[in-house]
Structure 1
Amino acid sequence: MIKGLYEAHLPVSNLQNSIEFYQKLGLKLAWRNEDTAFFWIEEGKSWLGLWEGKEYQTPYHPSLRHVAFRVTYQDLKESIKWLESIKVEPVPFGRRTSIEPFIRPNQGNASVYFNDPDGNSLELMCYVDVPNELKNITEKLSFEKWENLVNSKLK
């Protein structure tokens, strides 16, 4: 059924600043007009729409202002260095205090979070192959702890 993201939309306070930010992340501008810009996430498959204007700034729940970008496991391991290299600060997720990427064994995925210039929540996310005997772990694990756990189970 679902193969990836088709589109997501975020409100922005300054379209030009947001265009520069998303280009820094490596997204390609698909088109823009006076108050709207669309970026390809996967060219011809999925895109992100940015909408400038006070009518789009009405407060609402942060989960409605969130986009997750699919990356590889290896890319996620290097994500903090990459974000810092483009001067984007990672942020902790939820009640966590660490900015480091983490594994959710029970969900079969891993993430790191950051924000765009308007405080919209962004996430780099990948799938993780979880052995059946580890799928009941609900704790969020660091990559190091996860890899040590998986390696100990494979022995």
Structure 2
Amino acid sequence: MIKGLYEAHLPVSNMESSINFYQKLGLEAAYVSEKVSFVWIEKGKSWLGLWDTEKVYLPYHPSIRHIAFHVEAEDIIEAKDWLKERGIEVKEAFGFTPERQPLVLPNHPQAHACLYFNDPDGNSLEFIAPLRLDFEEKFEMMSLEDWYNRKK
């Protein structure tokens, strides 16, 4: 199921200087805003989330420990059952109940299918599957089921 680490998150005190720092390391900005920005570690495969410590943005305030495991898009469809077989419950995320997950995030320029759960210490974990890179279409967050049905 798990193919690798897709994302990790760090709190930052100055978004602009942090983005500049990571660009000096050769990382490309994937998404930039004043609250949260992402830089590609390996484009389309892994990125680093930078969260402004002064701008609370739930559910990923910098005080929350969060990582995301990369899974393939075809595996995320079965991921909820896979977790259930192991006694792991999916948690609510972004207002989506476990029943409505996986969900699709419009993380322009990439769309991602995601499923959220916790480890025994309450650390926030996620299965994430890249769906499309460099798309133009704008859309609201939705369930994966709605994502596939909208194309019909």
Residues 1:141 and 1:7: Cα distance change in structure 2 (over 3 Å): closer
Matched, 1:104 2:105: yes
Rg larger in 1 or in 2?
1
Q: Secondary structure at the match of 2:117?
A: strand
Matched, 1:113 2:80: no
1:66 maps to a residue whose letter is: H
1:116 maps to a residue whose letter is: D
Residues 1:62 and 1:93: Cα distance change in structure 2 (over 3 Å): farther
What TM-score do you get using the length of structure 2 for normalisation? 0.53
Structure 1: 5+ residue stretches without partners? 10-60
Structure 2: 5+ residue stretches without partners? 10-60
Larger helix fraction of residues: 1
Q: Secondary structure at the match of 1:90?
A: coil
Q: Which residue does 1:42 correspond to in 2?
A: none
Q: Which residue does 1:35 correspond to in 2?
A: none
Distance 1:117 1:8 in 2: 19
Residues 1:131 and 1:5: Cα distance change in structure 2 (over 3 Å): closer
Q: Secondary structure at the match of 2:128?
A: strand
Distance 1:98 1:6 in 2: 21
Identity %: 43
Matched, 1:73 2:73: yes
Is contact 2:64-2:124 (8 Å) kept? no
Shift of residue 95, structure 1, vs aligned partner:
2.7
Q: Which residue does 1:144 correspond to in 2?
A: 145
Is contact 2:5-2:67 (8 Å) kept? no
Q: Secondary structure at the match of 1:117?
A: coil
Distance 2:62 2:148 in 1: 31
2:129 maps to a residue whose letter is: C
Q: Secondary structure at the match of 2:132?
A: coil
